[in-house]
Amino acid sequence: MDYLPVFLNLRDQLALVVGGGAVATRKVELLLKAHARVRVVAPRLHAELSLYRDAGRIEHLACAFEPRQFDGAIFAIAATDRSDVNQAVAAAGAARGIFVNVVDDAAASSAVMPAIVDRSPLVIAIGSCGQSPALARRVRAQLEAMLPERLGDLARLAGAARARVQRALPDIGLRRRFWDRLFAGSIASKVFAGGAREAAALLDAELRAASDGTQRPRGEVYLIGAGPGDPDLLTLRALQLLQQSDVVLYDRLVSPAVLERVRRDAERIFVGKQPGRHRVTQERIHSLLLEYAGRGLRVARLKGGDPFIFGRGGEELDLVRRAGVPVIVVPGITAALGAAASAALPLTQRGVAPSVTFVTATGEGAEGLDWRSLAAPLQTVVFYMGVAQLPRIVELLRAHGAPAERPAAIVEQATLPGQRVIAGCLRDINAQAQRAQVVAPALLIVGEVARRAAQSADLVQALDLRGAANA
């Protein structure tokens, strides 16, 4: 280790920044974030820095660098684009025993600035001892994606409870276990999901139970939307929770690639409908949820798309809540949005589609829909459907006044490697689907915006033909 990482307390201390450009601006902002007083030396200031000066947040010396500008400073950053000036700043700092960072010049620096992941009060600094700032930035990006946004809130919650926990649990072993459980369990997940107040109440209850020895493991349920299939469309929170789940109950719509992102040693339980096999009933899913949570396990209920869009998420939420088990709901990208993006079909569009409706037309539900309004022009209607319902949907739309020429598109296996888009209009979409042998899962998109599907299908075909001609 060639450098010692330390956190400097710069509050109300003077820091000198030499340079007034964009790079200096970022450094000044960083110093202000750390509550330093900042003196900027630069003949001219970047527009943003002028704003800070006008607001009285920095001191500005509009002149060339001179060593006496170090007076009163305990840290300095040289951020000009002239290496002779930067060297002069470094030398003047060294002569006074003040650490100087020269931007992008580790050799001239007595201090190097790390890449920072800021979850204050939890702060992570990543340095490469000047070898590869680009690599340090990359590691930072990885940590950024991994660490919950509200990690700082958890640190604050723990900080506020620290003295109380110390009093209640004088034994250090017990105390460590208490904190470990807290950071891995429902209290932390609550904080990360924005429920700090609820988390504080849970913490009090846990602490009471821990100190009078009545503690029992507390299970929890995560109702997670897995998105339409492409695992890169999982939310960060979904990933974080899938990485800490003990058991995962998943549907048929959850893609194998998404399941790959589940913690290696978690138990995976399929609760979907399989062709030719009996469906796991909703009652059975309910009892599994409660059974596993009751054993103190962290149970992920992973559903295709979003749990609250045609996913019976509401029923599961009510059940788990009634049983007093903490539950966290994580939204997912619903199939309509996934299909729209990957088939390049905007669902609303000025002038032709000022509104969009998501409908489920599976089962008997279809008869109860307001077909007259679904058949009306100037809108987009997305049908979540079993492929077998397609003819009936088209028939009902036509019967309620939708013209045969109204554009329609089917997106099959949206966002998955086998995605296909079948384009047509109400007159021919059935025949098209049959010819293409569409299989589940598939969505039907009806409305003017679906015209684009035909256009882009033509384009793809043209490109394919061109590719074939070139080959």
Residues found near ligand SAH in the complex (CB under 6 A): 228-229, 253, 303-306, 309-311, 334-335, 339, 384-386, 411, 413-416, 440-443
- Beta strand segments in 43-181, E: 59-61, 73-78, 99-102, 115-119, 122-126
- The alpha-carbon radius of gyration of the chain (Å, integer) is 30
- Joined tokens for residue 253: 């719509």
Q: Which value, to the nearest 10 degrees, does the dihedral of the CA atoms of residues 373, 374, 379, 380 take?
A: 160
Nearest approach, Cβ of residue 327 and ligand SAH (Å): 17
Which CB sits closer to ligand SAH, 123 or 341? 341
Residue closer to ligand SAH by CB (options 139, 416) is 416
Phi, psi of 262 (to 5 degrees): -80, 150
For residue 143 the two structure tokens come to 């940590």
Question: Considering the complex, what minimum distance in angstroms separates the CB of residue 388 from ligand SAH?
Answer: 10
The amino acid at 51:
L
Cα–Cα distance between 32 and 323 in angstroms, integer? Answer: 48
d(CA 387, CA 381): 16
Which residue type occupies 147?
L
* Cβ(364)–Cβ(392) below 8 Å: no
Residue in the shown chain whose Cβ atom is closest to ligand SAH: 305
Min dist CB 339 to ligand SAH, Å, is 5
Angle at the Cα of 285 from the Cα atoms of 281 and 290, rounded to 5 degrees: 145
Residue with tokens 């998501």: 358
Instruction: Name the catalytic one among 230, 246, 251, 306.
Output: 251
Strands 298-303 and 220-225: parallel
What span, in angstroms and rounded, lies between the C-alpha atoms of 217 and 213? 12
**Active-site residue (options: 273, 318, 370, 458):** 273
> Which residues have CB under 8 Å from 361's CB, separation 6+?
369, 383, 384, 385, 389, 392, 393
> Cα(388)–Cα(408) distance, rounded to whole angstroms?
16
User: Does residue 190 carry a catalytic annotation?
Assistant: no
Indicate the pairing of strand 247-250 with strand 298-303: parallel
Is residue 425 exposed (0-12), middle (13-18) or buried (19+ Cβ within 10 Å)? buried
Cα–Cα dist 299/228, whole Å = 21
**Annotated catalytic, 251?**
yes
| Residues forming the active site | 251, 273
